[in-house]
Structure 1
Amino acid sequence: MGDQGVWGRSAWPVWNQARPGSRAAHIRGVVVLSLLLLWPLWEALRPDGEWPEPTAVRIAIGAATVLYAAGWLGAMIAGVRLPPRRRILLVGAMFALAAVAALLRNGPLYLGHAGAFSFVLAVAAWLLPARWGVLLGLGTWAVQALARWTAPGPVHWEDVGGLVPGIVIPVAVTLLIRLVVQLGQAREEIEVLAAAAERDRLARDLHDVLGHSLTTITVKAGLARRVLESGGDPEQALAELRDVERLSRQAHTEVRLTVSGRRRPSLAAELAGARAALRAAGISAVLPPSADHVPAELAEPFAYVLREGVTNVIQHSGATRCEVLLGDDWLEVRDNGPGPGPGPRQDAARPGNGLCGLAERLRAVGGRIEAGPLPAGGFRLRASRA
């Protein structure tokens, strides 16, 4: 897994900021954490006369315990906003407070108490890389076992083994909670990325669908207007207007299918549409007779390439001739237009939305897109499988 994930060497936990709607959940978390402190505070401050220490020592123990509890609560709530160096200093300070409280309470022997460092180990597992938390737990167990070993009297191995729950439980439970929180954050991030990807898909597909449809509608409406203005054949103008109506309905249907993600373009249909659009624009078209030999996985992206290429020939090229060449795993749209213009005729270092969308589609099938001027003049848009 390397440096990534909970067990990465440098996997410092980074928590998302609380959302505005999670204030109640944040308050509940603070209350739950505060309740967990009742036991250590009671142990340190109970006035039951069982402790032989003087009053001043008991006050010092109480002060150290209160600081320890406040530090633990603040570390669990706000420590996640600190940079790594301050987190290390915070954990070190809490270890020092825990050691001071243990030494004041019962001398070096209490350093070997099973719960003396439980809370600070939970903080370490919450704020530090998981490996660090586990290593600190092992180190704490070693120190506690050594304290038991050096204390007067016989050493019972069951006492040394009894230290393990006080180490394992806080570290394991905290790491489990941390993992659950990180999984929740990952789910939220996946939802955000999925929404962004869906927006990109809609923008790309609507650009491809509406760009060609609106261009063809504009060309045919302009042709009908010119026929009527020149006193030409009204039937020709009516035919073009009928095509405009048909294309408008078709575009409406395609937009609905695009939004629902059910639109699947046909390369054969795009060839027929390209022929009609180029004819209406007064551009001589040289198109392949069929697209049956194109593999199924390339037919859809090639359909988008053909639609985008023909659209930009009509809109930007100023060409009088457009040629479409089609192989088993490649497609070219060529024209004899004079100028670079916008759209795919931009400089390759600054591709437009159309080229970027085509490049994404072709990458999905192991292909690539190329666009640039031809040596003898004109422009070429080529899609191929690498």
Structure 2
Amino acid sequence: MDSLTGQPRPVSRRWRFTGWLLAAVWLFFLNVPISTALDQAQPWRRIVGVVTLFVFGLGYVLLFQWARHLREHLQPIPPRRAGIALLGLVAVGLASIPGTAGDWTATLVFVAASAVFLLSATQALVIVALCALIPLVGAWLVPTWTGESTVTVAVLLASFAMFGVSRLAQRNSELRAAQQEIGRLAVAEERARAARDLHDILGHSLTVVAIKAELAGRLIEVDTVRAAAEIAEVERLARAALADVRQTVGAYREVTLAGELAGARSALAAAGIAAELPAEVPELPREWDRLFGWTVREGVTNVVRHSGARCCTIRVRPDEVEVSDDGRGPSTPDADAAGYGLVGLRERARRLDAVVTVGRRRDDGTGFLLRVHAPVGAR
């Protein structure tokens, strides 16, 4: 199934040709009744024998292709249609008796093989048993029919072989469907990842832009010089956000803890929130430096947007980063744990076996806390 359209993918020409060849190769078993029909002394018997065997062979191949098409698309084979088709094959085989005499029983090989491919195991077993017994019973009732024991062996061998073919076709179809589903899920995961990255990048940048634009609007009549500086900063942030989006479209954006701490200082200052930031950043492995950077970005964005805080504190240790404030805090301990940015942060932390904690900073219900901690032995 196509991962974008949801429609089944077209079968390749080579595989389609292989399917026809697989069906046609079984027609070898019709060589004996065809020879018998061609050796008939009466023309009408020759015509009846050849025409009915041709119709039988064509019907069998078309029936096999129909069933194979359904199996390829993991669709159930309608039992009623399958039963009618098998009865049609038996009827055409019986109609060939005037031209093939006792050799018409060769058609039972195809009936048994078709039953294995079309019907359930129990139903197929019954049909195969009947097809194996009919030549023996017919030879007993009609002494001129000879060699029918060979047909019985052919029925059993063909049924066994068709059982393997049918199971192989089923497994291949299931494997192909599983591979296509994996591809579809990979595309969905990549889209979700891109959405998370764009949210994390633009959410922070646009929040700071909005705050600085609001500040510039208040200052424009009071302090035009500072207002102009804030507008220039808005322009710089907008250009930086655009550059981030372009980097994200091309590849993962490189996020560092030092860079995010610098951005946090600017964002908190623009929002009028006092900042307590670490003077130094410890040496961290690249993946942990990136994860801690995303934590600072997400935590500061939430503080600026929702907290109403007067002070924000960021603490960084070799195994932990923590962002907290003295604002109103979440309404419940996990009220903000399902935010889209926090979902993305949890997924990033999970890749490194890190633990994300979201909740209140104080027991009195005030303040907000976001902590990412590396368990012992995780680094």
- For 2:164 and 2:2, the matched residues in 1 are separated by 19
Aligned with residue 259 of structure 1, among 249, 252, 258: 249
Could you state the TM-score of these two structures normalised by the residue count of structure 2? 0.69
Aligned with residue 385 of structure 1, among 371, 374, 378: 374
Mapping for residues 143-182 of structure 1, pairs under 5 Å? 144=132, 166-182=158-174
Aligned residue for 2:306? 316
Aligned residue for 1:123? 118
- For 1:49 and 1:334, the matched residues in 2 are separated by 98
- For 1:112 and 1:325, the matched residues in 2 are separated by 83
Gaps of 5+ in 2: none
Contact 1:337/1:379 (<8 A) preserved: yes
Gaps of 5+ in 1: 1-13
- For 2:354 and 2:78, the matched residues in 1 are separated by 48
How much has 1:189 moved relative to structure 2?
A: 2.5
How much has 1:259 moved relative to structure 2?
A: 1.2
Counterpart AA for 2:223: G
Contact 1:76/1:123 (<8 A) preserved: no
- For 1:122 and 1:138, the matched residues in 2 are separated by 13
Please give the per-residue CA displacement for 1:158-189, whole angstroms capped at 9, x wherever unaligned: 88765565235434444444444444433432
Q: Percent identity?
A: 31
Counterpart AA for 1:167: S
SS at match of 1:229: coil
1:368 and 2:355 correspond:
yes
Please give the per-residue CA displacement for 1:16-74, whole angstroms capped at 9, x wherever unaligned: 9994995998xx89x959x9599599969x9768599xx9xx99xx7996998586665
- For 1:145 and 1:263, the matched residues in 2 are separated by 73
Deviates more, 1:113-122 or 1:323-332: 113-122
Counterpart AA for 2:348: R
Aligned residue for 2:263? 273
Please give the per-residue CA displacement for 1:231-258, whole angstroms capped at 9, x wherever unaligned: 36x1x44443333232222212211111
- For 2:93 and 2:256, the matched residues in 1 are separated by 77
How much has 1:100 moved relative to structure 2?
A: 7.7
Please give the per-residue CA displacement for 1:294-330, whole angstroms capped at 9, x wherever unaligned: 4433222221121011011111111000011223332
- For 2:370 and 2:6, the matched residues in 1 are separated by 49
Contact 1:335/1:379 (<8 A) preserved: yes
Aligned with residue 204 of structure 1, among 183, 193, 196: 196
Q: Cα gap change, 1:68/1:380 in structure 2, threshold over 3 Å: closer, same or farther?
A: same
Matched residue count = 352
- For 1:138 and 1:286, the matched residues in 2 are separated by 82
- For 2:284 and 2:6, the matched residues in 1 are separated by 52
Q: CA RMSD in A?
A: 5.2
Mapping for residues 1-386 of structure 1, pairs under 5 Å? 19=7, 36=24, 50=40, 69=60, 75-77=67-69, 87=78, 110=105, 114-124=109-119, 140=128, 144=132, 166-231=158-223, 234=225, 236-338=226-328, 340=330, 347=335, 351-374=338-361, 375-376=363-364, 377-386=366-375
SS at match of 1:319: coil
How much has 1:280 moved relative to structure 2?
A: 1.6
Counterpart AA for 1:268: A
Q: Cα gap change, 1:304/1:148 in structure 2, threshold over 3 Å: closer, same or farther?
A: farther
Deviates more, 1:193-202 or 1:95-104: 95-104
Please give the per-residue CA displacement for 1:79-131, whole angstroms capped at 9, x wherever unaligned: 889986x756666676677678778967899489644412232335xxx6xxx
- For 1:346 and 1:51, the matched residues in 2 are separated by 93
Contact 1:329/1:385 (<8 A) preserved: yes
Counterpart AA for 1:359: R
How much has 1:213 moved relative to structure 2?
A: 0.9
Q: Cα gap change, 1:367/1:249 in structure 2, threshold over 3 Å: closer, same or farther?
A: same
Counterpart AA for 2:277: L
